[in-house]
Amino acid sequence: MTGYGGAEQMAGDWQIAIELSAVNRKQTDIVVHLPSSLGALESDLKKQIGKQVLRGRVTARISVESANSGSNEINLDENLAKQYLSLVQSLAKDSGQEIQVSGADLLRVPGVFTFETSTPPADELQKDLSQVLGEGLKALLAMQDAEGAHLKEDLEQRLKFVEQELEVIATSSPQVVERYRKALHQRLKEAGLEIDLNDDRLLREIGLFADRCDISEEITRACSHIKQFRSYMESDDAVGRSLDFLCQELNREINTIGSKANDAEIAQHVVETKTELEKIREQVQNIQ
């Protein structure tokens, strides 16, 4: 699920700031950006995030700045500067032209001047970083909870639509056999075969057809999946993968209903139901 969270805290002379952003993704992907001197803490920070966020891509940007300007240093690589000046003088001598080098020229030479901000050892900031990250995660999860509430409302409306379609299909199902009986008798009549409606051969054929197109079990299982779906939505646990599985099972039952019913009217409702199920499944991909 999408979301954003941030937190700041002073740790002695150091200002720690953390920004967390999350976007939808089926699997879990955690990326942590932090100063190179604190690289040893990356694994622990990822684990802390992973305990709270079980799905989606989470990017954490961590900065550590000193409140004491004296911790910032500008370093000069004298050997590199001397090499540069020596090469310029050699070039001027070989070309017979006067070449002057200014301080601004030296500033543009990579590596001659470097700006460094010292940071404390990783173990000194580990506890404070964990605390700030915890606050940032609270803000992130609060935003995701708000999004989850809207998502739950949307899913509930779509589930109601699926239930309504299943009710229509269940009501139409008993009429399928009767329509088949009339169609079969009409075809026999048009073929010049007069067969009594109570003929054993006709009744046997209709009975076999009724068995083949019986979808009562599939409807019962589909309704059970919807009930379980709602139960998961009320849970405080991570249910994204469970809901995804139920979507697959619902789709399987609807497909079976479409193939067994052998009826154009029911087929139309099956198509509409599958379209809504696909929308539900797309939304479920965003749930932890």
For 205-229, write each residue's pLDDT tens digit: 655 655 566 788 888 999 999 999 9
Using CB atoms within 10 A of its CB, is residue 105 exposed (0-12), middle (13-18) or buried (19+)? Answer: middle
pLDDT at 242 over 60: yes
Distance between CA atoms of residues 185 and 193, nearest Å:
9
Average pLDDT estimate for 244-254: 93
**Whole-model pTM?**
0.62
Model pLDDT, residue 217: 83
Distance between CA atoms of residues 24 and 98, nearest Å:
62
Out of 22-36, 86-100, 166-180, which region has the weakest mean confidence (pLDDT)? Answer: 166-180
pLDDT band (50, 70, 90) for residue 90: confident
Model pLDDT, residue 197: 58
Instruction: Please give the share of the chain, as a percent, with pLDDT higher than 90.
Output: 35
Q: Where does the chain have alpha helices with state H?
A: 42-52, 78-95, 103-107, 122-190, 200-212, 216-233, 240-261, 264-284
- Please give the mean pLDDT across all residues of the chain: 82
Residue 76 forms beta bridges with which residues?
113
Under a CB-based contact definition with an 8 Å cutoff, are residues 233 and 152 in contact? yes
Query: What are the angstrom distances between the C-alpha of 33 and each of 7, 56, 69, 235?
Result: 15, 17, 23, 33
pLDDT, greater one: 96 or 58: 58
Distance between CA atoms of residues 87 and 7, nearest Å:
50
Query: What are the angstrom distances between the C-alpha of 104 and each of 83, 84, 100, 107, 270?
Result: 16, 13, 11, 5, 74
Distance between CA atoms of residues 190 and 51, nearest Å:
71
Write the pLDDT tens digit of every residue in 99-118. 877 777 777 778 777 766 66
Q: Provide the CATH number for the domain formed by 3-69+120-143 in this structure.
A: 3.30.230.70
Under a CB-based contact definition with an 8 Å cutoff, are residues 233 and 239 in contact? yes
Query: What are the angstrom distances between the C-alpha of 215 and each of 164, 262, 263, 271?
Result: 16, 10, 12, 16
pLDDT at 183 over 80: no
Model pLDDT, residue 190: 59
Q: So where are the chain's domains? A: 3-69+120-143, 78-111, 148-284
Under a CB-based contact definition with an 8 Å cutoff, are residues 53 and 27 in contact? no
pLDDT band (50, 70, 90) for residue 154: very high
Angle subtended at Cα 253 by Cα 284 and Cα 245, rounded to the nearest 5 degrees: 30
Average pLDDT estimate for 154-178: 86
Write the pLDDT tens digit of every residue in 18-66. 999 998 877 789 999 988 888 889 999 999 999 988 888 899 999 888 7
Q: CB 278: neighbour CB atoms within 10 A? A: 12
Q: CB 253: neighbour CB atoms within 10 A? A: 22
